[in-house]
Structure 1
Amino acid sequence: MRVLLIVMARLWYNNNCAAQTQKRYIGKSGESPDAVIPGEAKYILPAFTEGTAFLRSGASVKQRFNYNCLLDEMRFLNPTEQQ
């Protein structure tokens, strides 16, 4: 009984059931990941989305935001920049 429990726990632990498939991007040595990975894989949303940022001074500003997974930070576009 104990062996069966250990085997079942091991199988459950090693079960590879991911809800999403992972894509791999291979770059050459010294190449910037930003150049290798396409935009749709770097950002959470497919396009920059309008949002409001509240500054420490109490002011607020409307910008277009998206979360960059590579840099682990929220990115925004200046009105003069293009996506």
Structure 2
Amino acid sequence: MAVKMRLTRMGDKKSPFYRVVVIDSHKARDGQYVDLVGTYNPVNEELNIDAEKAKKWIACGVQPTETVRTLLVRTNVLEAKKTK
């Protein structure tokens, strides 16, 4: 089972709101998830991530998507990738 940390879309039409979740990569975008790690509201730029949960899942081998990785760097859960 390949598990990823990614966003699931919530909210109304033209008013998106996302949950940062740990989910099997073969499930649908808004399918049943394993654990809720945080929330992200791009309209208000609100970002709430449980750092302990995120670090625990990453230590277990969960791969965050690029968007989630950017959000984790923004909250100092992960370090930014060094580019050459």
Q: TM-score range by the shorter chain?
A: under 0.3
Q: Which has the larger radius of gyration?
A: 1
**Higher RCO (Cα < 8 Å, 6 or more apart):** 2
